[in-house]
Amino acid sequence: MIRFGIIGTNWITERFLNAARHVEDFSLVAVYSRTEEKAKEFAEKYGVQYTFTDLEQMASSPEIDAVYIASPNSHHSKQAVLLLQNKKHVLCEKPLASNVAEVKEMIQAAQQHEVLLMEAMKSTLMPSFKNLEENIGKIGKVRRYQGGYCQYSSRYDAYKEGTVLNAFNPEFSSGSLMDLGIYAIYPLVVLFGRPNKIQASGTLLESGVDGQGTILLSYDEMEATVRYSKITESNQPSEIQGELGTILIDKISSPEEVDITYRDGTEESLSVKQDMPPMYYEAKEFVELIQQGKTESNTNTFANSLLTMEIMDEARKQIGIVFPADRN
């Protein structure tokens, strides 16, 4: 049984726990929150034994094997490094950190202390994406990747009324690229690796984060377009175009329906029936890696997380997005 602690008591944590409870050998034993009240409220709801308001106490607790981090992006690195130094395995929400320097620090801590660190990017571990990865050769030479995630944020209404919540506050290393754009960049990196050239543009909001953006990425024999937004909505699927056919992906952030249309009009489904919630697969992967004594995922690798962050750092530089974390 892997005994988990949780950092962060928001909706994403609840979604993760609803998925992780289906994973054999997953056991939730502890929660950290800045306030005792929130920690106790969460503990009661989920039947959690230990509550912490001091992160160092949590990190040094012998009752915990692993920790799922779902705090604001700007806190990920500091929290993860402390836990890793205390020999705790860490599953950290995406984006892994604020920038490349922080990601490198986290990887170094994981390697030095021989514990598992994995970015909680669910999409690349879901069955339909794994099947896409295995069958991408069917569309011949790939020429174009178009990945998009545009979802109007309910917090944008508050922003327009003058209230800057975490999602639009640079203090927390947030914005549309960090929160949504990463969903389209990470699968691109997993499938095609490092681009030769990056061109980025975006809409900067007065708070200092981006409301939306577009990145063009050039490879030797293909091009990629990544679109993301928290101030508009899109229902367009994502697409991978090859010389023999096209793969359509219903949602790049949570791929379930994946279909090939060949040039002659025939179709083939790559969709794999999913009996579990989307976040189940990342929780399962993480638990199994710990049980196997591994310190890195074969899919959500250190290299993939680092390259994804390199692309996002470059995009932010070109758009003009600077976080306080970049100045540290």
Q: In percent, how much of the chain has pLDDT > 70? A: 100
pLDDT, tens digit (0-9, with 9 covering 90-100), for 134-143: 999 999 999 9
pTM value?
0.97
pLDDT (average), residues 187-213: 98
Whether 189 and 195 have beta carbons less than 8 Å apart is answered as no
For residue 10, the model assigns a pLDDT of 87
Identify which of 57, 107, 63 has the alpha carbon closest to the alpha carbon of residue 81.
107
From residue 155, give the alpha-carbon distance in Å to each of 42, 71, 85, 174, 184: 23, 17, 35, 12, 21
pLDDT, tens digit (0-9, with 9 covering 90-100), for 208-260: 999 999 999 999 999 999 999 999 999 999 999 999 999 999 999 999 999 99
The alpha carbon torsion through 84, 284, 309, 104 (nearest 10 deg) reads: 20
Whether 238 and 148 have beta carbons less than 8 Å apart is answered as yes
Please check the confidence at residue 9 and state whether its pLDDT lies above 90. no
For residue 328, the model assigns a pLDDT of 73
Which DSSP category does 154 fall into? H
Between vectors from CA 243 to CA 201 and to CA 304, what angle results, nearest 5°? 50
Please check the confidence at residue 16 and state whether its pLDDT lies above 90. yes
pLDDT range class, residue 267, cuts 50, 70, 90: very high
Please check the confidence at residue 207 and state whether its pLDDT lies above 90. yes
pLDDT (average), residues 275-297: 98
pLDDT range class, residue 54, cuts 50, 70, 90: very high
pLDDT (average), residues 61-75: 97
For residue 202, the model assigns a pLDDT of 98
